[in-house]
Amino acid sequence: MIFNKTFECMDRAALRNLQGERLRDAVKRAYEHVPFYRSRLDAHGVKPSDIHGIEDIVKLPFTTKEDFRDTYPFGLFAVPLREIVRVHASSGTTGKPTVVGYTKEDIDTWAETIARTLGCGGGTADDILQVAYGYGLFTGGLGLHYGGEKLGAMVIPMSGGNTKKQIMLMQDFGTTLLACTPSYSLQIAEEAAADDIDLKALKLRVGYFGAEPWTEAMRAKIEERLPVKAIDIYGLSEVMGPGVASECLEQDGLHVFEDHYFPEIINPTTGEPVAAGQKGELVYTCLTKRSTPLLRYRTRDISSLDEKPCPCGRTSRRMARITGRTDDMLIIRGVNVFPSQIETVLMKVEGIEPHYVIVVDKTGALDELEIKVEVSEQLFSDEIRKLEELRARIFEEMRSVLSLSAKITLVEPKTIERTLGKAKRVIDKREVK
């Protein structure tokens, strides 16, 4: 089902004109209403009048996650706070989260692109959508929720967790569409198998999976265990949230809703655009977002763009499944985690010299985070109770900062190699290639 034929199947030349027009407006709004962008553009020697068409986008400087941190919390907003009706947030690289705002119009645009996403997987107003992404500051839950309503589907706002109830509602309500992280879908399958419930007997038809990296192997596993077409969806809160791009039923690349989110692929080292079809870092510009006209945001995700027409009829370019990152960000159970955040927490817990290693693994379908911390002499106590208290304190700090339960293991000194660089403080044993 193509939710919005006008835009999703637009002639490419007309689309480029529209993008150019919208970019001009976005740059103008950024320059006039965001002091950060005015000085950034001035420093870069670019004026809004230098932007004529979409091809001029390469003249613009990049925006990075650090820029969100430096302007925390609302410094990137182009409208007064009274026009902002919602905020969401994701992890920053250190203690402070990355904050994004939405005007009424933005919420509507967002819902529109998620309705398109749901349409990409074949969803219609007749469907019943179970949203098992977390609701809250994370964009997954509320994003899919509004998109489902926009589509006209019946939305079940289950949020994450409570797997037995998820399965019960799937059975009792006749859920046809499921939205969650790919690993959570496998968790549902495992729980159902343990309870002798045949998921194949459900009305479930399509799964919209995103918020963490996954593979074709995982897709095969999901489609074998659940009666769904597994659709890869992409988004990030800095740009809007989920609904930036989505696979169609061809399952061959994700259609970018590029009338709103303009994609580029650059060489992460030089910042120059790569040749057509080549891999590189994905960069997004928000052409229509009122709250923040985000310019050339470096996602740090590695992908490529395919301009070939798709048999589904949509004319938008397709981005390849994300194959990696250009930084050390980890995605654990859908939560973005930076090793630097973990280091900050350890420094904060009194007396810990940050000799640590982060181990990410899977038990069953779910990601497990383990933080091994070396016990120095300053930290050591002759009493088990005090060491257990230390471990509990680190656990609680981590949980409050990362929103994740991490296993904290105290290890002997020098068990963690001193030669390891920062990036190698992470041992990721998951299958993601």
Partner 1 sequence: MKVRQLSIFMENRAGRLAEIMQSLGDAGINIRALSLADTSDFGILRLIVSQVDKALEVLRKAGHTVSLTDVVAVEVPDHPGGLASVLTPLREAGVNVEYMYAFVEKATDKAVVIFRFEETEAALKVLAGARISVLPAETVYKL
Where on the chain is the footprint of partner 1 (CB under 8 A)?
Answer: 375-377, 379-384, 387-388, 409-415
Complex with partner 1: residue 49 or 376, whichever CB lies closer: 376
User: Least distance from C-beta 359 to partner 1, angstroms?
Assistant: 13
Instruction: Tell me the two tokens of residue 12.
Output: 């490419």
Label the pairing between strands 128-131 and 366-374: unpaired
User: Least distance from C-beta 330 to partner 1, angstroms?
Assistant: 23
User: Least distance from C-beta 407 to partner 1, angstroms?
Assistant: 9
Q: Which residues contact 39 (CB under 8 A, 6 or more apart)?
A: none
User: Least distance from C-beta 425 to partner 1, angstroms?
Assistant: 19
Q: How far is CA 74 from CA 34, 62, 243, 413, 417, in A?
A: 10, 19, 23, 42, 41
Complex with partner 1: residue 386 or 429, whichever CB lies closer: 386
Nearest Cα to Cα of residue 116 among 235, 220, 212? 235
The CA distance from 131 to 80, in Å, is 32
Complex with partner 1: residue 414 or 433, whichever CB lies closer: 414
Sheet of 241-247, strands arranged across:
154-156, 128-131, 177-180, 206-209, 229-236, 241-247, 254-256, 318-319, 305-306
Q: How far is CA 184 from CA 191, 208, 375, 429, in A?
A: 10, 11, 34, 18
Cβ atoms of 329 and 337 closer than 8 Å: yes
Complex with partner 1: residue 226 or 379, whichever CB lies closer: 379
Complex with partner 1: residue 313 or 413, whichever CB lies closer: 413
Complex with partner 1: residue 269 or 363, whichever CB lies closer: 363
Cβ atoms of 197 and 224 closer than 8 Å: no
DSSP-based three-state secondary structure for 230? strand
Cα 235 from chain centroid? 5
The CA distance from 114 to 294, in Å, is 19
Q: Which residues contact 251 (CB under 8 A, 6 or more apart)?
A: 219, 229, 230, 231, 232
Residue 306, CA atoms < 13 Å, CB-side half-sphere: 14
User: Least distance from C-beta 339 to partner 1, angstroms?
Assistant: 22
User: Least distance from C-beta 335 to partner 1, angstroms?
Assistant: 24
Complex with partner 1: residue 39 or 415, whichever CB lies closer: 415
User: Least distance from C-beta 376 to partner 1, angstroms?
Assistant: 7
User: Least distance from C-beta 411 to partner 1, angstroms?
Assistant: 6
Complex with partner 1: residue 274 or 416, whichever CB lies closer: 416
